[in-house]
Structure 1
Amino acid sequence: MSALRQAFPRVPGVWQSARSRQSWAPVRRFSSSPVAQANWGFVGLGQMGYPMARNLRAKIPATDSITIYDINESATSQFVEEASSTGPGAGVTIAKSLQDVSRASDTVITMLPQPKHVQAVYKEFIEGGLDKTNPRLFIDCSTIDVKTSLEVGSSIRALGHDFVDAPVSGGVVGATAATLTFMLGASDSALVKAQPILEKMGRRVIHMGEPGTGIVGKLANNYLLAMNNVATAEAMNFGIKLGLDAKKLASLINCSTGKCWPSEVNNPVPDVIESAPSSRGYQGGFGVSLMAKDLKLAIAAADLAGAKLILAEPARKLYEDAEVHDDCKGKDFSVVYKYLQLTGK
């Protein structure tokens, strides 16, 4: 029995459609040839969802249609305006309700901020009446807790439709460039359908295993990212305070064993990496509030599995403190370096 089945034995309908595995399988390649598809739905046009939907529209046939929905009406209006100005492509329709999305689409992709949003959106889909004679594929790319994902997926599959969890790594830059990595939790049959779709918005699709394992993979990755970011901020702060030049220190780290994504690409010290959020006032990138959320989700998942995370609690407190600080809130998660400066820590 897998760890997920042991942790969530009472979530009804989750495991019947997923093959039991002795271990989590590495990526298995399936054909990425175009899927015969005409009607698409996309819910959630935030910092990540907007460029993902834009790339999807650009790579599906012009004869297809895509129905979009977001509570931010300016985002949907901007999407339609941009689509009309970029020349031929799939037709875009703004849905008046979530139920309009599920009724109009054969494949629906959701990219939402919090578990409560995922629950609310899929409740609307279900209450809108999902025609069992027209099986749909639902792909949730949100980073949420495992339990919510399993429960939502179970409710969708119980109605005869497919649901996969496919959270992403790569940030806004990856979403814009269509270089995202998708961590996919899906049955083998759903994988065959979902993989070529996800490849329109990203570079890699890694099948982690049965439903829920995509979320687990994402939380494990983001836990490591959160720790690396804190460690990079502390190491840079430590070296600079003892007189080292910031760029020289970063150069040393990035050709030595301390090298990591926060040191090389997203360095938290302003003007070390020109393209990093820290060099533009910590604007853009992956929000500190989102990292605080993902860290809390990782801690909760680890608790369920009985996995000890020794560094988790002090890091959680640091991110949460930075999240509410007037000079740090709303900024990229690398702003923890600025928080250390501001608080003298």
Structure 2
Amino acid sequence: MSITALRPTMRASRATIRGVALRRTFSSTTHNQASWGFIGLGQMGYNMAKNLRQKIPKEDTLYIQDVNSAATAKFVTEFPGADIIVSKTAREVAENAETIVSALPNPPLVKSVYESILSPGALPKFQNERLFIDTSTIDPTTSISVAETISQKGEGSFIDAPMSGGVVGASAGTLSFMLGCPDTLVPRATKVLSLMGRKVIHMGPPGSGLKAKLANNYLLALNNIAASEAMHMGIAWGLKPADLAGLINISTGKCWPSEVNNPVPGVVATSPASRNYDGGFGVALMNKDLKLALKACADANVSTALGDKAAEVYSAVEGDAELKSKDFSVVYRWLGGKE
């Protein structure tokens, strides 16, 4: 599916080598194919952008931007012949794309990127309203502020749409997105996000998607520690890892960290634990999300009993030079679990 629209009448033409823009001059030619933008080609964003490029019509243009030039160059080589333009800045993406998806690692960067898009002045107009979809996991306050600024400046609409499913889900196109936006934007956002995921769930007005994501990741953070401790104690008592995991996963202790992302190497062949905890959802990202959830709780006067202790655990794991770059299930190794 795609959203068809006219590009701005003052479109940048370009000479390209393997899809990378070398020169920009202005033309009055209009094009009926859709224009898309993707900002942020990290582990999640790269795979999401791949799914987007694979599923939109070949003649549609995808503008990509990331501070890591190696990532953008690699992306272009994966789609020979496709209309992909590497933009130097996020502003250039927004100038040329009607629908822009961003996947960024933290609140300050989201704020900085969108300020860079808006600060130079008005953006070119499209036939349809420009739509910004931010899939980053950040605090609701920052997201709502960005949405309000974009609306006040008349530059389009901004939706918070954090996702769940990890790198595996991003690669397979099976992510779940949680939307924070007005009801009127749900159909359009769903069409776009369905190109990169399997489920799109509207949670309420701006900021609601992030609130749902932070509640989910708070639970995930705690479940991961609990699953790691349960596997550690059972194996230390002499139980076989596969037998223990099998029992848990048909009993009341069943959870995603026990069934899909089991922290013990060899129990689940596709889990990060079975490849030395490489890939997956990084310790630093989990620690960030947990702290964002705790801050949002403090802002709303919501009390928690386990969050602060969990944050201590993830901070300690992140502080270990050998573990900080691993999947967050490496908590099992930090505990001293048998591998």
TM-score, normalising length from structure 1? 0.87
Distance in 1 between residues matched to 2:322 and 2:124, nearest whole Å:
51
For residue 132 of structure 1, report the CA deviation from its aligned partner. Answer: 6.9
Match of 1:93 in 2: 85
For residue 130 of structure 1, report the CA deviation from its aligned partner. Answer: 3.3
Q: Give the secondary structure class of the aligned counterpart of 2:268.
A: coil
- Alpha-carbon contact 1:143-1:294 (below 8 Å) kept: yes
CA deviation vs aligned residue, 1:95-142 (integer Å, no higher than 9, x gap): 022211110111111000010110110001002333374331000000
Root-mean-square deviation (Å): 1.4
1:119 pairs, out of 111, 114, 121, with 111
- Alpha-carbon contact 2:94-2:123 (below 8 Å) kept: no
Question: Relative to structure 2, which stretch is displaced further, 231-240 or 123-132?
Answer: 123-132
For residue 267 of structure 1, report the CA deviation from its aligned partner. Answer: 0.4
Match of 1:70 in 2: 66
Match of 2:54 in 1: 58
1:150 pairs, out of 144, 150, 153, with 144
- Alpha-carbon contact 1:103-1:130 (below 8 Å) kept: no
Distance in 2 between residues matched to 1:281 and 1:324, nearest whole Å:
18
Once the two structures are superposed, the pairs formed by residues 1-345 of structure 1 within 5 Å of their partners are 34-37=2-5, 38-84=34-80, 89=82, 91-131=83-123, 133-134=125-126, 135-160=129-154, 161-341=156-336
Q: Which has the higher contact order (CA 8 A, sep 6+)?
A: 1
Q: Give the secondary structure class of the aligned counterpart of 2:43.
A: coil
TM-score, normalising length from structure 2? 0.88
Distance in 2 between residues matched to 1:225 and 1:125, nearest whole Å:
34
- Alpha-carbon contact 1:288-1:329 (below 8 Å) kept: yes
Q: Give the secondary structure class of the aligned counterpart of 1:83.
A: coil
- Alpha-carbon contact 1:163-1:190 (below 8 Å) kept: no
For residue 326 of structure 1, report the CA deviation from its aligned partner. Answer: 2.2
Q: Give the secondary structure class of the aligned counterpart of 2:79.
A: helix
For residue 200 of structure 1, report the CA deviation from its aligned partner. Answer: 0.4
Distance in 2 between residues matched to 1:193 and 1:271, nearest whole Å:
42
Distance in 2 between residues matched to 1:133 and 1:98, nearest whole Å:
16
The alignment-based identity, stated in percent, is 51
Amino acid in the other structure paired with 1:201: M
Amino acid in the other structure paired with 2:77: E
